[in-house]
Structure 1
Amino acid sequence: MAGYLTTHVLDTARGCPAAGLKIVLYRVSGNSHSKLVEMETNSDGRTDSPILPQDKFKTGSYELVFFAGGYLRASGQGGDEPLFLDQVPIRFGMSDAEAHYHVPLLLSPYGFSTYRGS
Structure 2
Amino acid sequence: MAAADSSPLTTHALNTGDGVPAARLALSLHRLDSTLMIWNMLSVGTTNEDGRCPGLIGRGAFSPGMYKLRFETGSYWESLGQTSFYPYVEVVFTVADPDQRVHLPLLMSRFSYSTYRGS
Return the alpha-carbon distance in structure 1 between the equivalents of residues 23 and 86 of structure 2.
17
Confirm whether residue 17 of structure 1 aligns to residue 18 of structure 2. no
Where does structure 1 lack aligned partners over 5 or more consecutive residues?
none
Asked if structure 2 preserves the Cα contact closer than 8 Å seen for 1:3 and 1:99, the reply is: no
Q: Which amino acid aligns with 2:48?
A: N
**Which contiguous aligned blocks of 4+ residues in structure 1 show a shift greater than 6 angstroms?**
none
What's the TM-score, normalizing by structure 2?
0.87
Aligned-CA RMSD value = 1.5
Asked if structure 2 preserves the Cα contact closer than 8 Å seen for 1:6 and 1:102, the reply is: yes
Q: What CA deviation, in whole Å up to 9, does each residue of 1:17-48 have, x standing for no partner?
A: 0000000111013430001000000000001x
Return the alpha-carbon distance in structure 2 between the equivalents of residues 29 and 92 of structure 1.
14
Confirm whether residue 71 of structure 1 aligns to residue 72 of structure 2. no
Where does structure 2 lack aligned partners over 5 or more consecutive residues?
1-5
Structure 1 residue 3 displacement after superposition: 7.3
Q: What CA deviation, in whole Å up to 9, does each residue of 1:41-70 have, x standing for no partner?
A: 0000001x2312213211110001100011
Paired residue total: 112
Q: What CA deviation, in whole Å up to 9, does each residue of 1:52-97 have, x standing for no partner?
A: 221321111000110001111112322xxxx411111111001112
Asked if structure 2 preserves the Cα contact closer than 8 Å seen for 1:3 and 1:96, the reply is: no
Q: Which amino acid aligns with 1:39?
A: G
What's the TM-score, normalizing by structure 1?
0.88
Identical aligned residues as a percent: 38
